[in-house]
Structure 1
Amino acid sequence: MKVVSFLPAATKMIYDMGLQEYLYGVTFECPKEAADQPKIVRCILEGKNYTSIEIDRIFSASKAQGKSLYWVDDELLASIAPDIVFTQDICEVCNIDTVCTETAVMKLSKQPALVPLSPNNLQDVYECAITIAKALGKEEVALHYLANLQQKTDAILDTLRANRAPLKRVMLMEWIEPVYNCGHWIPFQIAAAGGVDMLSNPAGDSIVTPWDKILKYNPEVLVIAPCGFDINRSREEMDLLTSKNGWENLEAVKRNQVYLADFDMFTQPSIGTLVEGIEALACMFYPDLFVPNEQISRKFINLSSAVFLHQPV
């Protein structure tokens, strides 16, 4: 059986479950485990270093013109002749959508099974792992994988309850300029870590959020994790936020509770990375209760530390 993944999150889960022997092709942005796999899906933004403002403008123009940011290497796809193609239909900015995938697949002489993975909430992402493994005839592998992840989130909740930890008033930003709130499964991640984001859109799309609204909400903890950006990439654009009127008055800034975090823990819906996101959030919300392991500690940083570490000598 030959599988092609048009979705980085699906690729990540395939590797996490040890099913990579079935994988024959991925996208340009799939995780490092798949670095040697043929890249079938490409993007017009690939290899570019546009600012968040420029990326937003490019996407808005592309959407207005009815064009996609992604394209498929038809010859490479045909040479693989996959039996299954995993794709998504949630965000046409982050990944190629099902319509573009269907167009590419229709050109193939042998039609593969098209398996869309379109989670809206955290439970849906858990079920995506089962969908992937079931398509490969390995459902029991997914159940074992998910049971181990569930133990991690259960341990966090047990610690919060044992310490009667109060809910933290949180905001997680999915984009810097313009500012987007968080949506889909991320509000559920925040809740699992002991927080609440009243500006979020649970199980729905993230949307532009006015700065005045953020100032009024006044989060205790602010997490900045723009889609597609790691810590270093986000740090390059922090002046867009810190220069805004009222930044210094935010409770999160006063409390030194502003964090930069790698995007894959939130906007890449692989359940393993999302659980890492929950663990990271718990460490941000309650640093006295939770200490990150070595891997997670590399995926987020307090803004004050980020600024200090990169001051000119």
Structure 2
Amino acid sequence: MTAASPLGSLSPDLEQRIVTLIPSATEIVAVLGLASRLVGRSHECDYPESVRVLPVCTRPKFDPVGTSREVHERVSKLLATALSVYEVDLAMLEQLAPTHILTQAQCEVCAVSLSEVEAAVAGLTGGQPHILSLQPNVLGDLWEDIARVGTALGVPSAHVVQSLRARVKACYEKAQSAGTGRRVACIEWTDPLMAAGNWVPELVEMAGGVNLFGVTGKHSPWLEWTALAASDPEVIIFMPCGYDLAATRKAALALAESQPEWTSLTAVRKGEVFIVDGNQYFNRPGPRLVDSLEILAEILHPGLFAFSYAPHGWERL
């Protein structure tokens, strides 16, 4: 699949001009075979590779480079003053003249908010694009989002959903055959400490693990170190929001060095501490949540699964 030229006009038989303002939406459009209709993206949309040439329509209002604590404090300061974390480039949207804009209403920290997109679109002088907002909380919401996007863009989606669900079913059934699972702690932020919520607890259970923190369908909860230590997980998986493997390793090691009890944890003593590319997989509620499930299965049951996601998708800490 190839992307449309950044500012060029679409072919005569292709009237849709799609702008996606969250990576998961970009990936949904692509898996539906419509990457060629994309004309703009968010600053975080980077998959598939072809979308990287597209104009960027959003930008953060904070410096995303720094320690976990520094980034947390910058974002918290913006939210405390009722300011949004990201902003929309209205001039770019005006130039791109999209017919459809895909955004989200799930998390103000993850991407530009629905209200901000609506406010920006209201200022466009051309035609008003159709805004489709996604708000996934569990894996089932992903199937519905793919169907909604397909309907909005006029293409069938059932075959895509069926293929993804077949992979989930195969992984789940094989993982369950392994018997009683190990206790797993998934960490979505390290300073302050936060466990993973939403779809991640569901994926852990599907992969044959016993999720210790976070509730399926609920936002990620803050976590006290004492609670993590008391639970003494058999497996710890770091998946900080927006972090690649290198940044995740750095954050995980910083946490380990700050806690004297770290080396006494069962997962640490047994070498069962892992880092994953949360930015590309677990943090994005798009088609690659299925990849995320397979990564968990590979980590939790190395004797049963060999999808070959390592070392680009996960590593042992």
Would you say same fold, with TM above 0.5? Answer: yes
The amino acid that maps onto 1:78 is E
Matched residue, 1:241:
255
Cα distance between partner residues in 2 of 1:68 and 1:39: 18
Displacement of 1:5: 0.7
User: Does the Cα contact within 8 Å between 1:42 and 1:70 map onto a contact in 2?
Assistant: yes
Cα distance between partner residues in 1 of 2:161 and 2:241: 25
Cα distance between partner residues in 1 of 2:62 and 2:299: 32
Displacement of 1:250: 1.2
Matched residue, 1:29:
44
Matched residue, 2:296:
281
Matched residue, 1:308:
none
Cα distance between partner residues in 1 of 2:25 and 2:138: 16
Matched residue, 2:18:
3
The answer as to 2:188 corresponding to 1:174 is yes
Aligned pair partner of 1:66 in 82, 89, 97: 82
Matched residue, 2:73:
57
Cα distance between partner residues in 1 of 2:170 and 2:205: 14
The amino acid that maps onto 2:85 is L
Instruction: Give structure 1 regions of 4+ aligned residues with deviation exceeding 2 angstroms.
Output: 237-240
Matched residue, 1:99:
115
Count of aligned positions: 297
Output aligned runs, 1:1-313, within 5 Å. Answer: 1-32=16-47, 33=49, 34-45=51-62, 48-109=64-125, 110-138=127-155, 140=156, 142-161=157-176, 163-243=177-257, 244-263=259-278, 264-270=280-286, 272-293=287-308, 295=309, 297-303=311-317
Cα distance between partner residues in 1 of 2:131 and 2:28: 17
The amino acid that maps onto 2:46 is P
What root-mean-square deviation, in Å, do the aligned CA atoms of Structure 1 and Structure 2 show? Answer: 1.4
User: Does the Cα contact within 8 Å between 2:19 and 2:100 map onto a contact in 1?
Assistant: yes
Question: Which ranges in structure 1 are unaligned for 5 or more consecutive residues?
Answer: 304-313
Cα distance between partner residues in 2 of 1:29 and 1:135: 23
Cα distance between partner residues in 2 of 1:192 and 1:135: 30
Cα distance between partner residues in 2 of 1:60 and 1:254: 35
Matched residue, 1:310:
none
Name whichever structure is richer in helix by fraction: 1
Deviations 1:145-200 (A, max 9, x none): 12111221211222234x44212211111101111011111111111111121311
Question: Which ranges in structure 2 are unaligned for 5 or more consecutive residues?
Answer: 1-15
The amino acid that maps onto 1:35 is R
Displacement of 1:297: 4.0
Deviations 1:194-225 (A, max 9, x none): 11213112211112100000111111111001
Cα distance between partner residues in 2 of 1:130 and 1:3: 16
